Structure 1
Amino acid sequence: MNKILISFAPCLALGFVCAADSFNTSAYQGTGDVTFGLATTTNTRTFNCEQSSGRTAAMGEITGASGSVWTVPASNNFSTAQHAANLYDECSGNTPDSLSEVNLSNVPVVTIDDDGDEITGYIFADNYFELYINGVLVGVDAVPFTPFNSSVVKFKVSKPYDIAFKLIDWEENLGIGSEAGRGSRYSPGDGGIIASFSDGTVTGADWKAQAFYTAPIYDLSCLKETGTVRDSSGCSTKPASNANSYGIHWPQPMGWMNEGFDSSDWPQAVTYTEATIGVNNKNGYLNFVEKFTGAGAEFIWSSNLILDNLVLVHYRVE
C-alpha cells in the first residue's frame, strides 16, 4: 500500500481538519487502506423518517492512501432491494405491542429452492442489515439508521444452506465512524445484531464475523493484525472534539454472500449482552424478546462493537 508521509501535526495542533493529501500512514502496519478526515457526502437523504426524530442516513465517498475510493459507511442495496417486512417500525406506523398483533401471513416468501422448507426469521439490528441466503438477497433493513426497528423475513430453502449478513453501523460524520452523542459531535457509535429462525438456527459465538471498516482511529499504532484477526481493542473509543481521525478499509471478498463461501479463516463472532447493546428502551426488541434471547439467540458482532462499522457475518446451517 502506498504511504503518504507528509506530517499533518501542524493542522491537528490548530484544531483544523487536515487535507486528504497530507496525512501520515507510516504508523500503520496492517493490510487495510487508510483514510483521514471527513468524506464527501454524495447522498444527503438516503432515508429520513418524517414520523420520528431519527437520524438521516446519508452516504459519502472518501479516497484512501492507496488511491482507492471507498463508499461510507458502506456500499448497500437499501435503495434498490426489497425491504424486509416490519415487526416494529415507528416510521411506517407499525408499532405492535406483541407478536400476536403481527400478521405473519402477509410476509412475502423468497424462494431459493422450490422444494425447500419455509423458514421464518426474526431480526433486530443496530443499525442496518442485508440478509442473504445461498447468495440470494432475501431482504434489507427498512430503517438504515434510527429509530430502532425490527424485521421478519420468510424464505424457502433446502438444507444445508448458508446465511450471510452485511451489517452496517451507520454514521453521521461520514468517513470517521462517529455521530452526535455523549456530549460530542464526534462520538463513536456501536453495532449489534440478533436473529432467530424457525428451523432452530440462532445467532451465537459459532458464527463467523469479519470487520471491513474500522473508525474512528486516532492513533494508527493501536491497530494490530495477526492473520485475519483485525484487532482494534487497543484503540480509544472516547468521543473526540473534532473530525481529525482515521478510517481503515478492507475490500469485501468476492462471493462472500454465496453458497459454499469459505469463511473458515474469519474470526469467530463475539457475543454481547442485552445490557451492553442497550436494548432496555427499544420496543422493537422488547416487544418480541421471545423470538430473540427467548429463543436462545445472542447478540453478535466483530470483536470491537464500537469501532467496527462494516461487518460481514456467515453461518452454515447443516
Structure 2
Amino acid sequence: MKYKLITILSLVNLHCFADTNTYTGSGVVIQGEANVTNQTLFSCEHGRSRMSPVGTKSSYQKQYTVPAEVLYEEKYFAADLYNECAEITPSALSDVQISNVPIVEIDSNGEVITGYIFADNYFELYVNGKLVGVDSVPFTPFNSNIVRFKVSKPYDIAVKVVDWEEHSGLGSENNRGKRFHPGDGGFIASFSNGTVSNENWHAQTFYTSPVYDLSCLNEVGSQRLSSECSTEGKDDSIHAHSLHWDIPENWKTSREYLNWPKATVFTESVIGVNNKKAYMNFREKFSGKGARFIWSSNVVLDNLVLLRHRVE
C-alpha cells in the first residue's frame, strides 16, 4: 500500500511537471498557492470586507509578489468619493465637497483636472510618472475615489489596477458556492477635461491566475491571451497555475507601452455594478460622460494589469 501511494504521488508530480513543460509562452509559470507575507492589508468595521492578503511566489531565481507590489501601506490615499468603511456615503455628487480634495501639482502653470475613479478592486494613479493617488480600499466593500491634479498638456496617465484575491497566488475567492472561484476586475475613470477611459487606452497583463490547463494560453504579438481558459469555480486548487511577467521599471513613463494591446471595453452589466452605490450614485460622472469599463482582454483571469494613455 505504501509503495502504491508513493507511485501515485510520483505520477501526479510528473503530470504537473509535464503540464508545465507544455507552456511555451513568455510568462513564468508557477503552480500552487503563495507564501502569505501579510494576511490582510485592510479590515473594515462598517462594511463587508474580504481579507486582502499579500504573498510571494517563486520560480528558479525569480520571485513575484501577488497579487501585486502596491503602495497601499504608504497611505497615499486618493480622496474618498464613496467609502462605507470611512462612513462617507453621499447619495449624489451634489453632496461631495470637491473643493476639499487636495491638488497634486505636476506642473506649476498647468490646468487643475478633477478625476472620478471606480476600480474593481484597486488602483494606483500616476501622471507623468508622479503618484496622484492610491485606492483607499484594496478589496471590498466597493468604493470610489476622486482626485485633483495640476498638469499641462500633453501628459501621460499610468494606472496600476489589481483584481484582488482571497486565496493568495490562486486568483480566486470563496464565491458562488465554490471555494475557489476566480473574481473579475474592471476600471473606469473620467476627468474634467473630457478624458475618459475607453478602447483608446493601452492595457497589458502581468499576472494571470488560476489556469488549470496551460494549453488554453496563447500569445499573438504583445497580446497575452487566456480567453480559451476556464473561468469556472472549483472546490479545490490542486492543479492551479499562475503566470507572471516582469514589470518594466520605467512603465509609468516609457513609450514602450505603445506596443501593448489596446484596452478591452466591458459593459456595466458584465462588470456587475448595478447594485454598487459607489458607482451608481455617480453614474453621470462615469458612463454619463462617455467613460467605459476597461481591462486587459480577460477581465476574470488577469489580476494585475497596467494601463497607459496619453492626453494630447
TM range (shorter): over 0.9
Alpha-carbon distance change, 11 to 173 in structure 1, aligned in 2, over 3 angstroms: farther
Cα distance in structure 1, aligned partners of 2:271 and 2:186:
7
Select the residue among 31, 34, 39 that pairs with 2:34: 39
Match of residue 104 from structure 2:
110
Aligned pairs for 1:271-290 (under 5 A) are 271-290=265-284
Deviations 1:186-228 (A, max 9, x none): 0000000000000100000000000000000000111001221
Q: Which stretch has the larger CA shift, 140-149 or 235-244? A: 235-244
1:253 corresponds to which letter in structure 2? P
Q: Secondary structure at the match of 2:260?
A: coil
Alpha-carbon distance change, 275 to 36 in structure 1, aligned in 2, over 3 angstroms: same
Aligned pairs for 1:31-180 (under 5 A) are 31-64=26-59, 66-180=60-174
Match of residue 211 from structure 2:
217
Select the residue among 22, 26, 39 that pairs with 1:27: 22
Pick the structure with more helix per residue: 2
Cα distance in structure 2, aligned partners of 1:178 and 1:10:
28
1:291 corresponds to which letter in structure 2? K
2:191 corresponds to which letter in structure 1? F
Q: Which stretch has the larger CA shift, 236-245 or 203-212? A: 236-245
Q: Unpaired segments of 5 or more residues in structure 2? A: 1-6
Deviations 1:79-103 (A, max 9, x none): 1141000110000000000001011
Alpha-carbon distance change, 12 to 247 in structure 1, aligned in 2, over 3 angstroms: farther
Cα distance in structure 2, aligned partners of 1:10 and 1:168:
38
2:222 corresponds to which letter in structure 1? T
Cα distance in structure 2, aligned partners of 1:274 and 1:162:
26
Select the residue among 302, 305, 310 that pairs with 2:299: 305
Cα distance in structure 1, aligned partners of 2:260 and 2:34:
28
Report the alpha carbon displacement of residue 56 of structure 1 after superposing the two structures with TM: 1.6
Q: Secondary structure at the match of 2:215?
A: helix
Select the residue among 228, 232, 241 that pairs with 2:226: 232
Cα distance in structure 1, aligned partners of 2:187 and 2:282:
14
1:31 corresponds to which letter in structure 2? S
Q: Unpaired segments of 5 or more residues in structure 1? A: 1-8
Match of residue 289 from structure 2:
295
Report the alpha carbon displacement of residue 49 of structure 1 after superposing the two structures with TM: 1.1
Cα distance in structure 1, aligned partners of 2:295 and 2:84:
25
Report the alpha carbon displacement of residue 22 of structure 1 after superposing the two structures with TM: 6.0
Report the alpha carbon displacement of residue 62 of structure 1 after superposing the two structures with TM: 1.1
Cα distance in structure 1, aligned partners of 2:10 and 2:50:
28
Match of residue 4 from structure 2:
none
Cα distance in structure 2, aligned partners of 1:114 and 1:262:
27
Match of residue 6 from structure 1:
none
Deviations 1:263-316 (A, max 9, x none): 111001000000000001000000000100001100000000100000000000
**2:226 pairs with 1:241:** no
Match of residue 5 from structure 1:
none
Cα distance in structure 2, aligned partners of 1:251 and 1:180:
28
- State whether residues 49 and 56 of structure 1, in contact with CA within 8 Å, keep that contact through their aligned partners in structure 2: no
Alpha-carbon distance change, 10 to 268 in structure 1, aligned in 2, over 3 angstroms: farther
Cα distance in structure 2, aligned partners of 1:240 and 1:70:
24
Q: TM-score, normalised by structure 2?
A: 0.94
Cα distance in structure 2, aligned partners of 1:185 and 1:11:
24
2:58 corresponds to which letter in structure 1? T
**How many equivalent pairs are there?**
305
Alpha-carbon distance change, 11 to 123 in structure 1, aligned in 2, over 3 angstroms: farther
2:200 corresponds to which letter in structure 1? D
Q: TM-score, normalised by structure 1?
A: 0.92
Match of residue 189 from structure 1:
183
List, as ranges, runs of 4+ consecutive aligned residues in structure 1 with deviation greater than 6 Å: none
Deviations 1:148-170 (A, max 9, x none): 00000000000000001000000
